[in-house]
Chain A
Amino acid sequence: MTDETGREPAMELSDEMLMAYVDGELAAEEAAAVERAIAGDAGLKRRAADFRDTRMLARGALAEARAEPVPAALVAAVRAAAERARQASAGTAGTPVAAVTAGDRRATAAPPAAATVDPAPSDTAEPAATGARVIAFPQRRRAALFALPIAASLMVAAGLTGFLIGDARAPVTDVATVAPLGGDTAVTAALTGLVSGDERTLADGRRLAAVATFPVDDGVCRVFTVRGAESGAVEGVACDRGSGLAVEVAVTATSDDGAYTPASDVATGVVDAFLDAAGAGASLTVEEERALPRR
């Protein structure tokens, strides 16, 4: 069906449909249709950006709580419960440990077994029988958020900037903007020569620090900070996916009096969400970084 302009009529897109598209929940055919509709419609683009932003912001806002160490008592109690279940399934229920806690949740807060658990568990300290390790974040399903790294991060940038412009009148103590630094070749050129922990002063006086490097599916991503820029402290990620380093996300954090806010939780949250979505693995050692190809 076509309208008088000979094109497909504007698609009536529900919030649910648009959101499902952003979340990568649509079948390929539906997704392509939504993509076409969005391409020619600034309003739809804005609504899609809202769904993208809110997903990233929700993750960023809660990243802090998730990075908190789990209380040793909780880890110990859960391990003790796992151990009891193991013994029960092995037909050895009725041992003292299993008997202590039958039906009483409170009693398990500090069962006898807990006393032997190292409060800071490590591979070496833990017996093979339980062998539990606290792993920060398991690999998760890749979110559609950064499915198209460059285009998507620019879109996120646009959306966030919009939200922050609306925010500018507000008496907030600090704000963050995600700005594309794609053209900032001074940063990427200097970063190429640095390993994590290194700092360098750029020609314009800004101070660049290499923070960490993470492997991703098709290359590496490097986290960096830039201080001394008029726009404030920047934390960002530059990735080399086969054609040299390019900045894919950069978060600027400034306080309302213009002072820089280093390592703001906003920036860290956004960067973590980005790395998470990019499927980043464990960070490389300095030696591994040195072995990376230089472009």
Chain B
Amino acid sequence: MPAFANDALEQRHDGAVVPVNGARLAFTTDSFVVRPLIFPGGNIGDLAVNGTVNDLAMCGARPLYLSAGFILEEGLEMQTLRTVVTSMQKAAASAGVKLVTGDTKVVDKGKGDGVFINTSGIGVIESTEIKTIGPASVQPLDAVIVSGDLGRHGIAILSVREGLEFESPILSDCANVWPAVEALLNAGIEIHCLRDLTRGGLATTLNEIASDRNVCIQLEEALIPVDEVVQGACEILGLDPLYVANEGRFAVFVPAAQVEAAISILKKVDVSQGAVRVGRVEETPGRTVVLQSRIGGNRVVDMLSGEQLPRIC
């Protein structure tokens, strides 16, 4: 965004880390426009709190305070609003953050989509010793770990939109991931980069990092965790789980020597008990993500152009 160029924006990370009177604060903002408002495993309120808390966590910062701006469409049912707000209160309490300021506007019927929410958040990087966590710190031969199985949130949303039902219902993985990040920081793991796997999934996140950092990332398909039911839903809907959104999952880049320790720590935390190594950063430079398929062939995992569309047959 050339109009707004500055050092903080150039970090091109989930949040901005800014110096304030000797402290390193993380600052982030996100807007939430999900349809349907309420979905299996959560609602727009959970997303609005956890999404912003997670962006702060991805900077290695303890989340502290949130603001919340609501744009409500006239005619929105009060019960829906109550459900959303109650969820936000619970999610905030669970994440240990305080909602300290906010705003509400109402627009005419037809000018909104029920509820739009913007949340902004402030967190603090507590240790002065840890280096900047972000794409700029990614190194060749770093291991790539994901914190759990992929695709739950996107499929939960789509299952409502498409009227699909499963024997075991798929719930969104919407969750606050700070406890997992905190555990890694407390254990002194050398974290090079953290990134949550939201819109566009793992493939998009890794492509952004590969592109920003001029590295080539190699993935092994056999290692990538996808629940059987989610995989089945993806097959039916003609989607690739690598590109499906998650709301309680992140990728972490650590030096190869620390991979076992990092995974062992993550597995002890609820939100990251499914942590597993899925790939690594190659030595040779490049700007691609390459996948070794289950049967041993290779392909590039490209950036999506536009939205992922289901294939004909």
Do A and B come from the same complex? Answer: no
